[in-house]
Structure 1
Amino acid sequence: MSLQTTPESPAPVRQIANAIAGWVDRLGAVWVEGQIAQLNRRQGLNTVFLTLRDPVADISIQVTCSRTTFDSLDPPVVEGASVVVHAKPSFYANRGTLSLYARDIRTVGLGQLLARLEQRRQLLAAEGLFAAELKRELPFLPGTVGLVTGAGSAAERDVLEVARRRWPAVRFEVVHASMQGARAAAENIEALGRLDRDPAVDVIVIARGGGAVEDLLPFSDEALIRAVHQARTPVVSAIGHEPDSPLLDLVADWRAATPTDAAKRVVPDMVEESRQVAAARDRLRALLGHWLDREQVGLANLTSRPAMADPRHLLDTRADEVALLLERARRCLSHGLDRAADDIGHQVARARSLSPLATLQRGYAVLQDADGHVLTSVAGVAAGDRLSVRVADGRIHTTTIDTEALETPS
């Protein structure tokens, strides 16, 4: 039944609180699953106070139960344990707080835990969080290694000692976090985010030295898995629990069997790298030596040839050939010139024999009148006409005294 209230007639706090208590009381008993984040057994009280936390969301609720019910649990319940609680919700009106009164508490068995982890693994795998193509290569020689581990733990000591023994100059940025319990997942997420935001950190190692399946539940926490998936820096999982791998091993960029194995993978061995460099240098020297020997043998074979032993031999042979060709060319040219000179002589003689000048040189002359016409007959020539006589070496100018016609032979 709803309360009828107005600004003029408001309901008192006690009425509202009692109404809420009545509504909550009508819910009845419910089964609730969660993780025990805090356990408080106060001296002299018959009531045990628990804080039940949702493993996925950041939500918790107070739970109370009788000391008799709590002490009868087998095995005993500790902080961080996953439980299923049969409880009656109740609202304490005097303080305005909501809590659950537990009538039965059952610890979640190992088989159930593994089944739920497998279901979570399948769901996250379907989202692609474990895809192989998302895995990033680890840097060969990181400038700074981020390490998330428990304070003063053997895992921290193993990682630091092994890494510094392999590469003394390596630098570490260590952030301590709880490795088990209710706060482990949240503290690991916080430490991971801090190191991921540091630009100097090249790789992050989350290390723990193994443990029971129940102790490793924080490393299968969905929030932590998503934080590792979204990290900018490559992450190495070094939980060190071979039989049952937490989900962190699947989302990490590289999984180490132990913290020591993580240190060996993240940091190269200076001695081993120096040995490999020396071996590579020796191989290069050997290859270069073999190549030089092969080329030296080839050069010796070339220099042993007659042409290389006495390079002037080829020049002398070619010089003789050039001299013979030159002599042949001279002879051919001389013969050609002689033949050409003879041809020219013949042509000159023929031309001269056909020339009028040759006729004149034999004593003949050409008679021309004053106009330059050649006279071939006495007809038309009278006494006193000026004539010109062309002889071989010049002209004779004369005047006609008389003409005489001769009989032409029949």
Structure 2
Amino acid sequence: MPASDPAPPPRRRPATAAETTAEDPWPVRLLAAKMDAYIAKMPWTWVEGQVVQVSDRPGSSVVFLTLRDADTDMSLPVTLARRVVARLRAAMPDGLAHGTRVVVHAKPEFFTRRGTLSLAADDVRPVGVGELLARLEHLKRVLTAEGVFDADRKRPLPFLPRTVGLVCGRASAAERDVVENARARWPAVRFEVREVAVQGPSAVSEVVAAVRELDALAAVDVIVVARGGGSVEDLLPFSNETLVRAVAAVRTPVVSAIGHEVDSPLLDLVADVRASTPTDAARRVVPDVVGELDGLRLLRARARRGVEQRIAREEAGLAALRSRPVLARPVTLVEVREAEVAAVRARARSALAARLDRAGVEVRHLRATVTALSPASTLARGYAVAQRRDGALVREPADAPAGTPLRLRVAGGELAVTVDGAPGPAGAGG
């Protein structure tokens, strides 16, 4: 018989995940084994979360519960020995109730057959109120240092919002307080209501989702986050860091109306306005129509009085102007100016006449002086002026020998004469 072919050598798998390829992958069982080996090396650790589900079957040696992260929807199953739960009931009469915050000492375990991860815990401790408050105080200091609560980040509320976004519990008294009081103040107000869980494991994620959804609506001008009173544990979601940062990031003004006046979750610090109660929030987000109408009537009355007083002052001023002589008899001003012009003209005429009189006197004096000094006056007294034909004056007898024609100028005119004798002595007739 011919010898059979030898069997092929076993296939060598990649030693690490980085060595795998599409042609040479890991089978699921190998990946699960690798994960189990890796997780088995992890040490015991303390883990904090909220209890969201408890399975305590009678007769079972273990208790199963689900531990959920306080800020997200992530959760892990936890296995507890019954003796641990029994010891826990001594410190917690209500046991592991839904929503209880606890810290467990556990080690991760990976079940390769099911491909699931869980925690095996050997100790569980409740998170006390004092410890919760201390953590909140630390978170408050951190957020304050980052400027999340700064006053300059606060935005003013609109005077009359088109739509009010309301985040509240399902069929809650807080919703009724906000809606009814707001509509009593301003009947036309519109609401976009988002009913969510306001306590328990899902409160943070639901409130954050509702706030972001309302912030995305263009018609929503203000968002109110409202919840009635409760214990410190009940109000913890409204001091959650994820919720606080989500409110700080929205563009729409936010009003915090959580609990009663004495309650002060961190949401109050990051919100643009803090309302002491849901009813107070309704008063803050919308104006009172009755008060606004009263204010309008008051302003209209004040405006009317102001206008009437202004008109009265103007009428009194016009009456005072009309009573003045210049307006009562407008020609008075012209007559006054006319009289002034006439007086000036009279003074000018009088001054001119006086000037002319003085000038006339001066002219007469000058005329008399000129007349007295004029040769014509001498001629009028009987003297004559003798001139030869060449115009030379005859001053001496020798200037006119006999036979010399002369021209005599007398007061009445001129005479033509001829010298007919020898010149005589001075003063003798010729």
Judged with a 3 Å threshold, the aligned counterparts in structure 2 of structure 1 residues 53 and 336 are, in CA distance, closer, same or farther, namely same
Judged with a 3 Å threshold, the aligned counterparts in structure 2 of structure 1 residues 401 and 153 are, in CA distance, closer, same or farther, namely same
**Distance across 1 between alignment mates of 2:296 and 2:421:** 132
Secondary structure at 1:213's aligned position in 2?
A: coil
1:39 aligns with 2:46: no
Any unmatched runs of 5+ in structure 1? none
Retained in 1: the 8 A contact 2:165–2:191? yes
**Distance across 2 between alignment mates of 1:393 and 1:148:** 141
Q: Which residue of 2 aligns with 1:23?
A: 38
Q: 2:77 aligns with which of 50, 54, 63?
A: 63
TM-score normalised to structure 1 length: 0.79
Secondary structure at 2:220's aligned position in 1?
A: coil
Give the partner amino acid of 1:157. R
Q: Which residue of 2 aligns with 1:53?
A: 69
Q: 1:352 aligns with which of 371, 374, 381?
A: 371
Q: Which residue of 2 aligns with 1:276?
A: 295
Q: 1:227 aligns with which of 223, 228, 246?
A: 246
Judged with a 3 Å threshold, the aligned counterparts in structure 2 of structure 1 residues 231 and 397 are, in CA distance, closer, same or farther, namely farther
Q: Which residue of 1 aligns with 2:184?
A: 165
Give the percent of matched residue pairs that are identical in Structure 1 and Structure 2: 46
Q: Which residue of 1 aligns with 2:166?
A: 147
Q: Where does 1:100-111 land on structure 2 (aligned, <5 Å)?
A: 100-111=119-130
**Distance across 1 between alignment mates of 2:114 and 2:422:** 184
Judged with a 3 Å threshold, the aligned counterparts in structure 2 of structure 1 residues 13 and 139 are, in CA distance, closer, same or farther, namely closer
**Distance across 1 between alignment mates of 2:301 and 2:143:** 50
Any unmatched runs of 5+ in structure 2? 1-13
Q: Where does 1:88-99 land on structure 2 (aligned, <5 Å)?
A: 88-99=107-118
Report the more deviating stretch, 102-111 or 336-345: 336-345
**Shift of the alpha carbon at 1:275?**
1.2
Judged with a 3 Å threshold, the aligned counterparts in structure 2 of structure 1 residues 23 and 319 are, in CA distance, closer, same or farther, namely closer
After superposition, the C-alpha distances for 1:107-164 in whole angstroms (9 at most, x for unaligned) are 2111211111111111111222222232222222223222222343322222222212
Report the more deviating stretch, 40-49 or 148-157: 40-49
Report the more deviating stretch, 360-369 or 290-299: 290-299
Judged with a 3 Å threshold, the aligned counterparts in structure 2 of structure 1 residues 59 and 296 are, in CA distance, closer, same or farther, namely closer
Give the partner amino acid of 1:65. T
Give the partner amino acid of 2:68. L
Aligned pair count reads 402
After superposition, the C-alpha distances for 1:369-397 in whole angstroms (9 at most, x for unaligned) are 55555454455556777766556687x58
After superposition, the C-alpha distances for 1:232-257 in whole angstroms (9 at most, x for unaligned) are 22211111333331101011111111
Report the more deviating stretch, 355-364 or 196-205: 355-364
TM-score normalised to structure 2 length: 0.76
Judged with a 3 Å threshold, the aligned counterparts in structure 2 of structure 1 residues 166 and 10 are, in CA distance, closer, same or farther, namely closer
**Distance across 2 between alignment mates of 1:240 and 1:309:** 76
**Distance across 1 between alignment mates of 2:205 and 2:422:** 161
Q: 1:115 aligns with which of 134, 138, 143?
A: 134
Q: Which residue of 2 aligns with 1:186?
A: 205
